[in-house]
């Protein structure tokens, strides 16, 4: 399939919607509130390395919760099934930053893609000796280009991260966080503040459509085939929070979104895709990014179903 004309068409269809269909950039992190909503990028990489992109695909943005896929991959690779002693695998049916389930479920987060779950993953990674620089090394190695933090976003996350601080302390009170809460949150805030563009993320995620093989030459293996199947399953059921059912219905692909407006999507054995547009819908997913994925699924007929 020739994907470039499809991405060009989607870009042309999306742009007139800037400012027309609601949505708002994330405002609870001041550094994100300043991003212009009138931006849209889309990029893909096929399993055999063909790339296509359109719009603002080269513009850097804050990856935010898209990073949760990559930290989960690291933790699964390092800990195997031991990871699931601390984190569940069920959709939460609650907003991504909710505290309510944690009380009833003794500090064990429902899944690794809500904030509590990602903070629990960060705790596991701190125990395994991972530091902020290791996250950059991983992302750079996966996308083949140097990747950095947006320091302003990292600071902004930390000074306004009252809910995340509460989540971490709450889990600690149940004995579910082993390390110093500040050290765990520092890793979590930095993973959110990684800056990448659509093309880099489509490349970095491409082990997810290649049964774990490294995006470029297959080596070293990023994760096992079974681990990748499970990550894709979690992306489908939990990757877009409270909208996961609707996303499975209307897009039919495993996705992971972030409040920076980025979304990665996987077509197993075919390609990975990244869309970005900063204005979010009420569930915290990119409004136009989701629209673009819906158009892509409709134009190509690609679906895991």
Q: Catalytic one among 147, 228, 247, 259?
A: 259
Tell me if residue 259 is catalytic.
yes
Report, in Å, the least distance between residue 259 CB and ligand DON: 4
Nearer Cβ to ligand DON (192/302): 192
Q: How far is the CB of 176 from ligand DON (least distance, A)?
A: 18
Q: Which residue is nearest to ligand DON (CB)?
A: 65
Residues with Cβ within 8 Å of residue 121, at least 6 apart in sequence = 68, 71, 72, 75, 83, 87, 112
Of 161 and 215, nearer to ligand DON (C-beta) is 161
3 in active site: no
Residue with tokens 């997913």: 285
Q: Least distance from C-beta 59 to ligand DON, angstroms? A: 18
Smallest distance, ligand DON to C-beta of residue 239, A: 9
Nearest-approach distance from CB 255 to ligand DON, in angstroms: 11
The residues of the shown chain that bind ligand DON, judged by CB under 6 A, are 64-65, 96-97, 115, 157, 164, 192, 257-259, 284
Query: Whats the size of the chain, residue-wise?
Result: 305
Comparing CB distances to ligand DON, the nearer of 126 and 259 is 259
Catalytic residue chosen out of the listed positions 62, 126, 147, 188: 188
Query: Which of residues 39 and 65 has its CB atom nearest to ligand DON in the complex?
Result: 65
CA nearest to 287, candidates 2, 13, 59, 14: 14
Please pick, among 25, 68, 275, 291, the residue that the annotation labels catalytic.
68
Compute, in degrees rounded to 10, the torsion defined by CA atoms 68, 73, 78, 79.
70
Task: Please answer whether residues 73 and 221 qualify as being in contact, where contact means their C-beta atoms are separated by less than 8 angstroms.
Answer: no
Nearer to ligand DON, 46 or 164 (CB): 164
Q: Is 68 noted as a catalytic residue in this protein?
A: yes
Which stretches within the chain are classed as H helix? 4-14, 30-33, 67-79, 100-104, 115-127, 132-143, 151-160, 162-173, 181-192, 198-204, 225-238, 244-250, 287-300
Q: Which of 176, 184, 241, 286 does the annotation list as catalytic?
A: 241
Name the percent of the chain in helix, strand, coil, to the closest 5.
50, 10, 35
State how far the alpha carbon of 62 is from the alpha carbons of 86, 197, 282, in Å: 27, 9, 19
**Cβ 26 vs Cβ 52: under 8 Å:** no
CA distance 270 to 205: 12
Strand order in the sheet with 61-62: 61-62, 194-196, 148-149
The catalytic residue among 62, 65, 98, 257 is: 65
Decide if 184 is catalytic: no
Minimum CB–partner distance for residue 80 and ligand DON (Å): 26
Nearer to ligand DON, 96 or 276 (CB): 96
List, by residue number, the catalytic residues.
65, 68, 188, 241, 259
């Amino acid at each position: 399939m020739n994907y470039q004309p499809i991405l060009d068409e989607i870009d042309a269809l999306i742009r007139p919607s800037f400012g027309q269909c609601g949505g708002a950039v994330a405002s609870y992190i001041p550094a994100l509130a300043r991003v212009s909503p009138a931006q849209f990028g889309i990029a893909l990489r096929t399993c055999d390395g063909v790339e296509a992109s359109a719009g603002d695909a080269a513009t850097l943005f804050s990856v935010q919760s898209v990073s949760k896929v990559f930290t989960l991959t690291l933790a699964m690779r390092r800990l195997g099934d031991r990871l699931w002693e601390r984190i569940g695998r069920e959709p939460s049916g609650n907003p991504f930053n909710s505290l309510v389930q944690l009380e009833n479920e003794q500090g064990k987060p429902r899944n690794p893609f809500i904030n509590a779950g990602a903070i629990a993953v960060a705790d596991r990674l701190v125990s395994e000796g991972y530091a902020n620089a290791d996250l950059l090394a991983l992302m750079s190695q996966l996308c083949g280009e140097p990747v950095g933090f947006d320091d302003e976003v990292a600071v902004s996350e930390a000074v306004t991260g009252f809910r995340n601080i509460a989540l971490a302390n709450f889990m600690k009170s149940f004995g579910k966080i082993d390390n110093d809460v500040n050290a765990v949150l520092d890793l979590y805030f930095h993973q959110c503040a990684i800056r990448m563009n659509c093309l880099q993320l489509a490349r970095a995620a491409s082990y997810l459509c290649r049964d774990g093989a490294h995006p470029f030459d297959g080596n070293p293996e990023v994760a096992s085939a079974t681990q990748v199947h499970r990550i894709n399953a979690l992306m489908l059921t939990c990757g877009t929070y409270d909208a996961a059912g609707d996303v499975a219905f209307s897009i039919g692909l495993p996705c992971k979104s972030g409040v920076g407006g980025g979304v990665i999507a996987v077509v197993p054995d075919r390609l990975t895709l990244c869309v970005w547009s900063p204005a979010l819908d009420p569930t915290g997913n990119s409004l136009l990014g989701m629209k673009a994925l819906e158009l892509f699924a409709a134009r190509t007929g690609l679906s895991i179903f």
